[in-house]
Copies of this chain bind each other. A is one copy, B any other.
Amino acid sequence: MGYLIDNLQYCNWSETVFRQMRAGGMDAVHVTIAYHETFRETVLNIEAWNDRFARFSDLIFLGRTGDDVRRAQALGRTAIFFGFQNPSPIEDDIGLVEILHGLGARFMQLSYNNQSLLATGCYEAEDPGLTRMGKQVVAEMNRVGMVIDMSHSAERSTLEAIQHSTRPIAITHANPAIWAPALRNKSDTVIRELAAAGGMLGFSLYPHHLKGKSACTLDEFCQMIARTADKVGADHLGIGSDLCQDQPDSVVDWMRMGRWTKERDYGEGSAAAPGFPPMPDWFRDNSDFPGLGKGLRATGLSDTEVAGIMGDNWLRFYDSSFGAAP
């Protein structure tokens, strides 16, 4: 063991970013390939990734299984895993779950910030839990081996997804709300239920999810992880940095507003600060990733616990999650 995995990034992808992945020794990165994209638009995004895989084949390749992470480390490359932050790529069609799994998709959020056809997002006033279609799609994702991700979902929907899913689910990028009370962060109840069901929590470095936002220190971030490990053990914890390196602010507008509103929505931002917030100076790109391990060791977590959080836990989860249900 001893793998480095960041389970959520949405950078403005470039040779620079991929070389920083290699500089950081990243064995795998789960990348978002859809926020509000339809099926056809998602396929266009996969085409763009196919082009990157061809152009930068010495740096990256498409990952489909846990073994691809091991292969990446052996080859000195980074395995790229696809995921969606919204179920928009399946549109209203449950048959697209299997199609998109075949194209490489391994994680799908049941909702982004708003109500979806499947579940409720954390910015809605009400949360009715999983819908009729949501329950059907959870079963289908379980069947084919696509992981249910509830990072942006509301509380009841998240608890129902944990209960309804026959396989462990993930919250790929969020922090405990008790530490930083953002709507996007998660209650202790959710974190305990998630871990008790074998699921994974990826800690986020997106400043709106951090105590003190961009001013949060490495020690504060790592202490937050260590205190969560005290509560639920270290085996169900990992990193999902939400790194959005080099993205223009037009991208955060797309994330927040998609095509659903004619009025401006600032999401976690505000009229005074509508764009991407600056990242903490100790986590600006993939080459900073190993520094998280040093910070975690300084909290007193064991080497094995730190190795788990830095990637081995995600690898174990990939091994058991990405194939068809037994």
Whether a CB of chain B sits under 8 angstroms from the CB of A77 is no
Cβ–Cβ contact B114 & A124, under 8 A: no
Cβ–Cβ contact A94 & B132, under 8 A: no
**Contacting residues, chain B, for A128 (C-beta < 8 A):** 115, 120, 124-128
CA distance A117 to B36 in the complex (A): 13
**Contacting residues, chain B, for A132 (C-beta < 8 A):** 114-115, 123-125, 260-261
* A window 102-132: CB within 8 A of B: 114-117, 120, 123-129, 131-132
| Contact bitstring A122-150, B, C-beta under 8 A = 1, else 0 | 01111111011110100110000000000
CA distance A274 to B132 in the complex (A): 19
Copies of this chain, count: 2
Contact of A131 among B36, B114, B139, B262 (CB under 8 A): B114
Mark the stretch among A45-53, A85-93, A168-176 that contacts chain B: A85-93
Which residue, of A120, A258, A260, A261, has the highest number of chain B Cβ atoms within 10 A?
Answer: A260
- Minimum CB–CB distance from A94 to chain B (whole Å) comes to 6
CA distance A95 to B262 in the complex (A): 8
Whether a CB of chain B sits under 8 angstroms from the CB of A263 is yes
**Contacting residues, chain B, for A262 (C-beta < 8 A):** 94, 136, 139-140
Cβ–Cβ contact B260 & A92, under 8 A: yes
**Contacting residues, chain B, for A124 (C-beta < 8 A):** 128, 131-132
**Contacting residues, chain B, for A115 (C-beta < 8 A):** 115, 117, 128, 131-134
| Contact bitstring A62-100, B, C-beta under 8 A = 1, else 0 | 000000000000000000000000001001111100000
**Contacting residues, chain B, for A136 (C-beta < 8 A):** 260-263
- Minimum CB–CB distance from A319 to chain B (whole Å) comes to 27
CA distance A224 to B139 in the complex (A): 43
- Minimum CB–CB distance from A125 to chain B (whole Å) comes to 8
| Contact bitstring A235-257, B, C-beta under 8 A = 1, else 0 | 00000000000000000000000
Cβ–Cβ contact B126 & A129, under 8 A: yes
CA distance A88 to B114 in the complex (A): 16
Contact of A260 among B88, B94, B126, B129 (CB under 8 A): B94
**Contacting residues, chain B, for A120 (C-beta < 8 A):** 128
Can you show 22 pairs from A to B with CB atoms below 8 A apart? A36-B92, A38-B92, A88-B92, A91-B91, A94-B262, A95-B259, A114-B117, A114-B133, A115-B128, A115-B132, A115-B134, A117-B117, A117-B260, A124-B131, A124-B132, A125-B128, A125-B132, A126-B128, A133-B261, A136-B262, A136-B263, A140-B262
Instruction: Known pairs A128-B128, A133-B261; list 13 more (Cβ under 8 Å).
Output: A92-B259, A92-B260, A93-B259, A94-B259, A115-B133, A120-B128, A123-B132, A124-B132, A125-B128, A126-B129, A132-B261, A139-B262, A140-B262
